[in-house]
């Protein structure tokens, strides 16, 4: 009896731990936003919350109770060890809660450790709530109550994690405010430091690194790494990495909800503001493109009045922001906009990069070459050129920096893998960038052109239509479409079929790993493949 109890408890405890870790990972991927996490849980209740094991466990309890009622007595106690073993088998599997190859693994930060510790404590309380009444009983009654506590802890794991996040919210807010105060204090002691802020629906990271490369020719520059564009990400860089030797600090500022720009600018006030674009990324949380434009434009309101704004003139909503900025405004354009200060002409693309002629506000021009591909990357470079000109750099100096630029990982990076050409645009996807990437794939000289994509997300009511349009565009440029996730990519499939794309050339898979398995058997010498978007783990369908 004791051995079977130990086995059952071990399996149940293991499963509860795996579930807590799984849901903690989702909570972290949702940027610790409790409301977003709860929406995710609610939308996937029948998949990850209520499992077959829960239904089976309830079935075993109901059967025992029904038999007891029909026999007017409980089953023989000799069968109890078998009941414990059956229970252990029911909860033996935690496969749904393991990620053998997570795209973005769970990071055990101090915040996450606090969350997991409190969640585990709440789960233990549920177990104890079932175990305590069982101590005064024996036989089947004790077994059922004892195991019911573990069943409750297992089932409610996602909700105990949510409850723990609510309980810890005041603590986390206090800690974050401390980091913000430290960052503001450090920056206020550096009036000599120039702060450059970059925002926009698309291209923020690429522009940030292009500006860093251009200014590094003359200044000591610190830029936030990768996509550090949240308050805590910026505070971490300022508090830990900013030194007295740095002359320029380049910050990427992302938004997901109204008020995000204000929160970021209250930490660091920019001298130079760059706005790349207004698109429908995060339309689901922002509500409308007008709200997105207003939030992006708020950056100019917090920029120093004696500073500068660099705006993409080819984006009408960005261009309109110039009217609200009292300082000096620089406009850039790839489309020969008449008011632009920095222009690109004679633009040519190829698998090895791009070439274009850049002209500045004085009328001077120079031919530039870059390893980056795509028209949107030329726009990104123009914004960096504008910053270089603000700092007095000559076009020839800037051209040298542009030639050194390398693709940001997973953002339209073209590489050769043996005889196969790979375009890696897997970081994220938006209508403009996806169309650009597909066109580049279509321009390559290749035996066959493949695309692997799960489509675009967080586009609100526009999501299906934008994915359908993407499908039509793919049909014009691609030979084989590999769609990741049947439910999520049905709109792309519809767009492909509307454009008379052959059904036999549409392959639907459930994961990126399955897509790569398919490619291993399908790719031949001279082929090209585009990886367009690779959704975070919380969007997996299996």
The pLDDT, as a whole number, for residue 70 is 66
Q: What is the pLDDT along the chain (542 residues), one digit of tens a residue?
A: 577 767 777 767 888 888 899 899 989 888 888 888 898 888 888 778 888 777 887 887 787 777 766 655 556 666 667 666 667 777 766 565 555 455 678 888 899 999 999 999 999 998 888 777 666 666 667 777 777 888 888 889 999 999 999 999 999 999 999 999 999 999 999 999 999 999 998 888 889 999 999 999 899 999 998 768 889 999 999 999 999 999 999 999 988 788 899 999 999 999 999 999 987 776 667 778 888 888 999 999 999 989 999 999 999 999 999 988 988 999 999 988 888 999 999 998 776 788 999 999 988 999 999 988 888 889 999 999 999 999 999 999 999 999 999 887 777 788 888 888 888 887 777 787 788 888 888 888 889 999 999 888 777 778 888 899 999 999 999 999 999 888 888 899 999 999 999 999 999 988 888 888 888 888 889 899 999 887 544 445 44
The pLDDT, as a whole number, for residue 530 is 92
Torsion sign, CA atoms 426, 432, 436, 439: positive
The pLDDT, as a whole number, for residue 536 is 47
For residues 4 and 21, what is the distance between their CA atoms, to the nearest angstrom?
A: 26
Give the predicted TM-score (pTM) of the model: 0.79
Q: What are phi and psi of 3, to 5 degrees?
A: -65, -40
Class of domain 413-539: alpha beta
The pLDDT, as a whole number, for residue 265 is 94
| Paired sense of beta strands 272-275 and 308-312, if any | parallel
CATH topology of domain 190-404: 3.40.1190
The pLDDT, as a whole number, for residue 152 is 86
DSSP of 75-86: PPGGGHHHHHHH
For residues 153 and 273, what is the distance between their CA atoms, to the nearest angstrom?
A: 50
The pLDDT, as a whole number, for residue 217 is 84
The pLDDT, as a whole number, for residue 74 is 58
Beta bridge partners of residue 369, listed in sequence order = 355
For residues 26 and 270, what is the distance between their CA atoms, to the nearest angstrom?
A: 33
DSSP of 294-362: HHHHHHHHTS-TTSEEEEETTSHHHHGGGGG--SEEEEEESS--TT-SEEEEEEEEETTEEEEEEE-TT
For residues 488 and 457, what is the distance between their CA atoms, to the nearest angstrom?
A: 9
Domain ranges within the chain, ordered by starting residue = 2-170, 190-404, 413-539
The pLDDT, as a whole number, for residue 94 is 57
Minimal CA–CA distance to 197: which of 118, 100, 272? 272
For residues 222 and 294, what is the distance between their CA atoms, to the nearest angstrom?
A: 28
The pLDDT, as a whole number, for residue 542 is 47
Are both 190-404 and 413-539 of the same fold?
A: no
């Amino acid at each position: 009896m004791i051995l079977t109890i130990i086995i059952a408890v071990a399996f149940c405890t293991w499963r509860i731990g795996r579930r807590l870790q799984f849901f903690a990972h989702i909570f972290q991927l949702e940027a610790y936003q409790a409301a977003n996490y709860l929406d995710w849980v609610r939308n996937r209740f029948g998949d990850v919350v209520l499992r077959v094991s829960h239904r089976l466990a309830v079935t075993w309890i109901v059967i025992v109770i029904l038999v007891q009622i029909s026999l007017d007595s409980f089953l023989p106690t000799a069968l109890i060890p078998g009941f414990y073993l059956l229970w252990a088998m029911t909860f033996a599997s935690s496969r749904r809660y393991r990620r053998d190859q997570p795209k973005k693994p769970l990071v055990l930060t101090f915040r996450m450790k606090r969350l997991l510790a409190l969640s585990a404590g709440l789960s233990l309380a549920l177990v104890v709530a079932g175990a305590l009444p069982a101590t005064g009983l024996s036989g089947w009654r004790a077994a059922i109550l004892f195991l019911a506590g573990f069943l409750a802890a297992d089932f409610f794991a996602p909700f105990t994690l949510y409850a723990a996040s609510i309980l810890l919210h005041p603590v986390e807010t206090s800690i974050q405010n401390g980091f913000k105060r430290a960052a503001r204090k450090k920056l206020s002691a550096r009036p000599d430091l120039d702060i450059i802020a970059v925002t926009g629906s698309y291209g923020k990271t690429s522009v940030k690194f292009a500006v860093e490369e251009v200014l590094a020719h003359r200044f000591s520059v610190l830029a936030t790494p990768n996509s550090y564009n949240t308050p805590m990400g910026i505070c971490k860089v300022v508090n830990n990495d900013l030194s007295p030797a740095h002359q320029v600090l380049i910050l990427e500022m992302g938004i997901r909800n109204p008020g995000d720009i204000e929160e970021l600018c209250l930490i660091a006030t920019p001298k130079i503001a760059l706005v790349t674009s207004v698109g429908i990324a995060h339309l689901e949380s922002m509500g409308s493109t007008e709200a997105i434009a207003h939030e992006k434009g708020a950056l100019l309101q917090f920029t120093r009045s004696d500073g500068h704004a660099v705006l993409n003139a080819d984006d009408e909503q960005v261009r309109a922001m110039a009217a609200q900025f009292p300082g000096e405004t620089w406009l850039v354009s790839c489309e020969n906009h008449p008011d632009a200060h920095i222009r690109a002409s004679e633009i040519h693309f190829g698998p090895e990069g791009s070439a274009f002629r850049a002209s500045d506000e004085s009328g001077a021009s120079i031919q530039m070459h870059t390893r980056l591909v795509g028209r949107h990357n030329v726009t990104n470079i123009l914004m960096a050129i504008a910053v270089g000109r603000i700092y007095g750099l000559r076009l020839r100096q800037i051209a040298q920096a542009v030639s050194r630029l390398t693709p940001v990982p997973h953002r339209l990076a073209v590489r050769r893998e043996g005889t196969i050409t790979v375009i890696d645009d897997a970081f994220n996807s938006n209508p403009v960038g996806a169309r650009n990437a597909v066109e580049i794939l279509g321009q390559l000289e290749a035996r066959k052109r493949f695309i692997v994509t799960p489509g675009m997300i967080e586009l609100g009511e526009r999501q299906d239509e934008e994915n359908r349009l993407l499908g039509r565009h793919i049909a014009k440029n691609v030979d084989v479409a590999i769609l990741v996730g049947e439910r999520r990519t049905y709109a792309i499939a519809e767009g492909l079929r509307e454009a008379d794309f052959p059904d036999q050339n549409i392959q639907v898979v459930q994961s990126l790993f399955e897509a790569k398995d398919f490619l291993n058997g399908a790719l031949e010498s001279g082929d090209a493949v585009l990886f367009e978007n690779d959704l975070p783990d919380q969007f997996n369908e299996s």
